Amino acid sequence: MQNSFNYIRKYFIFSLLLVPFFFFFSPKVEESQCFKPIKYNSATLYMHNCDNNSITSSSMNYINYIFEWENNPWRGRPLHILVGTLGAPVLLPFAVLYNKLLKNKINTPINKKKLFKKSSVYFSYYLFHLLIIYLIIFVICKFLNFNLNSFNAFFAGLIVMTSDLVVSFFWQTHSSFLLILVPVISVLSFFIGSVGTYVEKQKFYSYCFILGCGSLFYQMCVIWLPMLVIGYIWSSNRYGNLELKNIFRIIFIFLLPLITWITFCLFFDLKIFYEAKWSFVWIFEVLQSGDFKILEKKIFKFLENFKDSFNLGYLILIVPILAFIFSEDNRKIKSKLLSLFSLVCLLSLFFHLSFHFLQGYYQPRAINVTYLIAFMWVVWLNLRNFKLIQFTFITIFFMQVYNMLTKVPLTYI
């Protein structure tokens, strides 16, 4: 038994490939105009989101998606659409095999011919989702100084893999899956910004550009910009070489991919649909009308969404927090709670929640994913207490598995 577990732990990257298949056993939303069942014989595997149709169709004909599909809802996310376009030819052999083996066993009210024709595009997004998950696990393990072959890394991977949003969106092609990436990378963005004062400028600006490309996958990635800038300001101020022109340069390079894409679309008279564009309109209505009842309603709605999307894992995290407070001396507690990492995690939560409060759109799923920052921070607090870390991992994992098997994921609705 121990040898088997050691083998799984050693090759946990491959072991995690099996986890998404357990999502097929989770409760499903009711069938509706947008959600249609994908069944293996009579068993429902998952509910197909209607947005998958336009996303996969866009990927299959990228030129049409850019120039000919008027009012395409995904034109603001060209790199996300490109995932399916580039991945489909590579994964075509697997799609052909899948179609041959399962075509007669998959049942759905959706047009099966069109669905199977797009199999390679769907596979591209499944692989992309795995890469995103592995990136999150890698970043968390680096922050917590976990060896990638350790039990801690294995359990951290399971917790990311069984989180609410992953269960909801893994088998979809929707860009909302990237929401799970935003909070963790926002913490990383601060520390990338902090190295800007002493690493080679060309390398640093390339990091800024790569982070900026995130907004062409999913617009919420723009939250990384303030974290990047604040990280640079903190480091520059510390070393006494803060220059305003460098801050503007960082902002420009980060926004360059987005500016380039918007300029391209304006040049060819292409319309871009951004959800955030009309979601923020209420702010201007308050400023113009002076009717602060609108603001009051937004605050109550946000608090209601916060309550409804509250992750019970937060309650589990209270145990290791209290254990840390009662087991360490005051000097250690103050040192940890006021440390740079603690403040950066708090700052990331602030920007994430503030952005989605102001946007007022899909708040439950946005609030739900902030749990990963809290989880990472609490484990970091107790790095010296191996047993407490194991308790945290195991209880959260079993709670998430229980939720996965008994409740419709909140972010699915």
The tens digit of pLDDT for each residue in 59-97 reads 999 999 999 998 888 999 999 999 999 999 999 999 999
* pLDDT (mean) for 242-253: 94
The range of the structural domain enclosing residue 57 comes to: 23-175
Query: Which residues are CB-contacts of 113 (< 8 A; sequence separation ≥ 6)?
Result: none
Is residue 110 a part of any domain in this protein? yes
Contact, 124 vs 79, CB < 8 A? no
CA distance 84 to 120: 8
CA distance 396 to 398: 6
Contact, 215 vs 253, CB < 8 A? no
Question: What tens digit of pLDDT does each residue of 13-45 get?
Answer: 778 889 999 999 999 999 999 999 999 999 999
Query: What's the pLDDT at 20?
Result: 95
Which of 321, 328, 365 has the alpha carbon at shortest distance from 182? 365
Is residue 36 a part of any domain in this protein? yes
Is residue 94 a part of any domain in this protein? yes
* pLDDT (mean) for 299-325: 78
Is residue 3 a part of any domain in this protein? no
Under DSSP, the state recorded for 39 is: E
Query: What's the pLDDT at 119?
Result: 96
Query: What's the pLDDT at 7?
Result: 56
Which of 162, 170, 186, 109 has the alpha carbon at shortest distance from 407? 162
Phi-psi region of 361 (alpha: psi -120 to 50; beta: other; left: phi over 0): beta
Task: Specify the number of domains making up the chain.
Answer: 1
Which of 276, 280, 237 has the alpha carbon at shortest distance from 258? 276
Is residue 67 a part of any domain in this protein? yes
The residue with tokens 């400028």 is 201
Tokens of 384: 């010296």
Look over the chain and give the mean of its residue pLDDT values, rounded to a whole number.
Answer: 88
* pLDDT (mean) for 47-65: 95
Contact, 39 vs 45, CB < 8 A? yes
Q: In the predicted model, is pLDDT for residue 311 greater than 70?
A: no
Is residue 116 a part of any domain in this protein? yes
Question: What tens digit of pLDDT does each residue of 142-196 get?
Answer: 999 988 778 888 889 999 999 989 999 999 999 999 999 999 999 999 999 999 8
Helix axes 244-267, 224-239, angle to 10 degrees: 160
Query: What's the pLDDT at 1?
Result: 47
Is residue 160 a part of any domain in this protein? yes
CA distance 96 to 62: 21
CA distance 346 to 365: 19
387-390 long-range contacts (CB < 8 A, ≥24 apart) are 388/320, 388/323, 388/324, 389/152, 389/320, 390/151, 390/155
Is residue 321 a part of any domain in this protein? no
Question: What tens digit of pLDDT does each residue of 190-236 get?
Answer: 999 999 888 899 999 999 999 999 999 998 899 999 999 999 999 99
pTM metric for this prediction: 0.93
Between CA 295 and CA 108, with CA 77 as vertex, the angle to 5 degrees is 100
Displacement of CA 281 from its chain's centroid (Å): 25
- DSSP assignment of 51-120 equals HHHHHHHHHH-HHIIIIISTT-TTTT-HHHHHHHHHHHHHHHHHHHHHHHHHTTTEE-SS-HHHHHHTHH
